Structure 1
Amino acid sequence: MIKHITLRGQTFALHSSGVIYWQAKDMLLISDVHLGKITHFRKHGSAVPLNAIHGNFRLLNTAVERFNPKTICFLGDLFHSYKNSEWEYFESWVINTGIVCLLISGNHDILPESLFEKLNMEVWPELVIDDFLLTHHPTERTPYFNISGHIHPAVRLKGTARQSLRLPCFFRSGDQLIMPAFGEFTGSHT
Structure 2
Amino acid sequence: MTTQTLIIADQHLELHPSGVIYWREEATLLISDLHLGKVTHFRKYGAAVPQKAIEQNFEVLEQNLHYFRPRKICFLGDLFHSSMNSEWHRFEEWVKKTEAEFLLISGNHDIISPLKYEALGITQVPELVWGPFLLTHFPEERAGYFNLSGHIHPAVRLRGHGRQSLRLPCFFKNKHQLILPAFGAFTGSHVLEKSEEDEVYAIADAAVIKI
Show the counterpart of 1:152: 153
Task: Give the whole-Å Cα distance in 2 for the aligned partners of 1:162 and 1:49.
Answer: 31
Task: Give the whole-Å Cα distance in 2 for the aligned partners of 1:92 and 1:161.
Answer: 49
Show the counterpart of 1:65: 66
Task: Give the whole-Å Cα distance in 2 for the aligned partners of 1:142 and 1:2.
Answer: 29
Q: What is the Cα deviation at residue 8 of structure 1? A: 0.6
Identity %: 59
Task: Give the whole-Å Cα distance in 1 for the aligned partners of 2:39 and 2:166.
Answer: 23
Q: What is the Cα deviation at residue 63 of structure 1? A: 1.1
Aligned runs of 1:61-140 on 2, under 5 Å? 61-140=62-141
After TM superposition, the score normalised by the length of structure 2 is 0.88
Q: What is the Cα deviation at residue 161 of structure 1? A: 4.9
Q: CA RMSD in A?
A: 0.9
* Equivalent position SS for 1:11: strand
Show the counterpart of 2:183: 182
Task: Give the whole-Å Cα distance in 1 for the aligned partners of 2:151 and 2:67.
Answer: 24
Provide Cα deviations, 1:12-56, integer angstroms capped at 9, x if missing partner: 101111100000000000000000000000001111000000001
Amino acid at match of 1:188: S
Amino acid at match of 2:24: Q
Provide Cα deviations, 1:141-170, integer angstroms capped at 9, x if missing partner: 111100000010001123325332211100
* Equivalent position SS for 2:190: coil
Task: Give the whole-Å Cα distance in 2 for the aligned partners of 1:180 and 1:34.
Answer: 12
Task: Give the whole-Å Cα distance in 1 for the aligned partners of 2:42 and 2:92.
Answer: 20
Show the counterpart of 1:8: 9
Task: Give the whole-Å Cα distance in 1 for the aligned partners of 2:17 and 2:55.
Answer: 19
Provide Cα deviations, 1:39-81, integer angstroms capped at 9, x if missing partner: 0000011110000000011111111111110000000000001
Show the counterpart of 1:46: 47
Task: Give the whole-Å Cα distance in 2 for the aligned partners of 1:112 and 1:15.
Answer: 31
Amino acid at match of 2:88: W
Show the counterpart of 1:141: 142
Amino acid at match of 2:137: H
Task: Give the whole-Å Cα distance in 1 for the aligned partners of 2:82 and 2:165.
Answer: 31
Q: Structure 1 regions of 5+ residues with no counterpart?
A: none
* Equivalent position SS for 2:187: coil
Amino acid at match of 1:80: H
Deviation larger for 154-163 or 32-41? 154-163
Task: Give the whole-Å Cα distance in 1 for the aligned partners of 2:61 and 2:186.
Answer: 14
After TM superposition, the score normalised by the length of structure 1 is 0.98
Count residues with an aligned counterpart: 190
Task: Give the whole-Å Cα distance in 2 for the aligned partners of 1:163 and 1:100.
Answer: 45
Q: Establish whether residue 163 from structure 1 lines up as the match of residue 170 from structure 2.
A: no
Q: Structure 2 regions of 5+ residues with no counterpart?
A: 192-211
Amino acid at match of 1:178: I
